[in-house]
């Protein structure tokens, strides 16, 4: 009876499986950090409000942040959501392309979008996200700014690449271009409720993105750093991984 009570009270938690799992996750993350990925401006980082963060990411400055296995499991859950919706799209018969590579050398951009879907003769860019219930409830059909920028950037890049027609995909599906609409699909992590938001190409946001990329490339090409500017993201989620680089080791 006491053994059952001890188990219920959690007195035996984390003694066998958890330490091994955490050790494995930390080792994998260290390996990833030690492996240099291909240099480029990635859409996910371009949406960040701090220019220094974007440029440090591009220059592959050493990121210093404690590896938290719990955060790694959260990332894995997000990846699992992406895979699940890939399966759904394929079974629905609307999936045209998954993890479509995007590379535009002139702007130093590289990345990949989640899915391209053909629904009722319209080609859609499909971007899948997941978030906590408390954030999901505050959406009201309006996605966060960084999500909007990322989706607009994908639309911009796809249509720019279409004009150059260097990929056979554009020859096959050229009649559906230029793409004007995207689906931002957001799942509530806590209860699997979903929010589907149609985002259309926006000229004003397109100009904002191109101006930002031009400014970033100016700093990169001149090999100079943008001025320091403390923002909320410097301290969110345990602090920016480049904070030591900007403000010193003790900050």
For residue 241, is pLDDT > 90? no
CB 165 within 8 A of CB 215: no
Residue where the block lists tokens 């409830």:
137
pLDDT value at position 5?
56
Secondary structure (3-state) at 110: strand
For residue 236, is pLDDT > 70? no
Residue where the block lists tokens 């345990």:
238
For residue 249, is pLDDT > 90? no
pLDDT value at position 62?
75
Read off the pLDDT of residues 169-215 as tens digits, 9 standing for 90 and up: 998 999 999 999 999 999 999 999 999 999 999 999 999 999 999 99
Q: How confident is the model at residue 7 (pLDDT cuts 50, 70, 90)?
A: low
The DSSP call for residue 103 is E
CA 148 to chain centre: 12
Among 126, 144, 133, 135, smallest CA distance to 198 is for 126
Structure tokens at 232: 């909320």
Read off the pLDDT of residues 67-117 as tens digits, 9 standing for 90 and up: 899 999 999 999 999 999 999 999 999 999 999 998 999 999 998 999 999
CA torsion sign, 74 to 78 to 83 to 88? positive
pLDDT value at position 49?
86
User: What are the structural domains of the chain?
Assistant: 36-226 (3.90.320.10)
Read off the pLDDT of residues 42-57 as tens digits, 9 standing for 90 and up: 988 888 888 998 998 8
Read off the pLDDT of residues 142-155 as tens digits, 9 standing for 90 and up: 888 889 999 999 99
d(CA 180, CA 226): 33
pLDDT value at position 14?
56
Secondary structure (3-state) at 41: strand
pLDDT value at position 91?
98
Among 46, 59, 43, 149, smallest CA distance to 102 is for 43
pLDDT value at position 123?
96
CB 154 within 8 A of CB 182: yes
The DSSP call for residue 189 is T
Instruction: Indicate the Cα dihedral angle 125, 130, 131, 136, nearest 10°.
Output: 60
Over the chain, what is the mean pLDDT?
A: 87
CB 189 within 8 A of CB 130: yes
pLDDT greater at residue 225 or residue 124: 124
Structure tokens at 116: 């391209």
For residue 12, is pLDDT > 90? no
For residue 22, is pLDDT > 90? yes
């Amino acid at each position: 009876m006491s053994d059952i009570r001890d188990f219920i009270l959690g007195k035996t938690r984390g003694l066998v499986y958890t330490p091994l799992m955490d050790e494995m996750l930390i080792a994998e993350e260290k390996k990833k950090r030690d492996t240099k990925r291909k240099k480029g401006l990635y859409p996910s980082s371009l949406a960040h409000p701090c220019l220094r963060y974007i440029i440090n990411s591009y220059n592959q400055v050493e990121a210093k942040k404690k590896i938290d296995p719990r955060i790694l499991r959260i990332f894995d859950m997000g990846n699992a959501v992406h895979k699940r919706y890939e399966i759904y799209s394929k079974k629905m018969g609307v999936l045209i392309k998954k993890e479509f590579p995007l590379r535009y050398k002139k702007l130093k951009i590289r990345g990949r979008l989640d899915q391209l879907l053909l629904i009722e003769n319209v080609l859609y860019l499909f971007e899948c996200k997941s978030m906590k219930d408390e954030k999901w409830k505050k959406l009201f059909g309006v996605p966060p700014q960084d999500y909007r920028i990322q989706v607009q950037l994908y639309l911009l890049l796809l249509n720019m690449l279409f004009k150059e027609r260097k990929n056979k995909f554009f020859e096959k599906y050229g009649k559906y271009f230029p793409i004007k609409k995207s689906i931002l699909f957001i799942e509530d992590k806590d209860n699997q409720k979903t929010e589907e938001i149609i985002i259309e190409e926006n000229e004003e946001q397109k100009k904002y993105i191109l101006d930002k990329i031009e400014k970033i490339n100016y700093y990169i090409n001149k090999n100079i750093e943008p001025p320091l500017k403390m923002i909320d993201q410097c301290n969110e989620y345990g602090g920016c991984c480049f904070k030591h680089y900007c403000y010193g080791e003790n900050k």
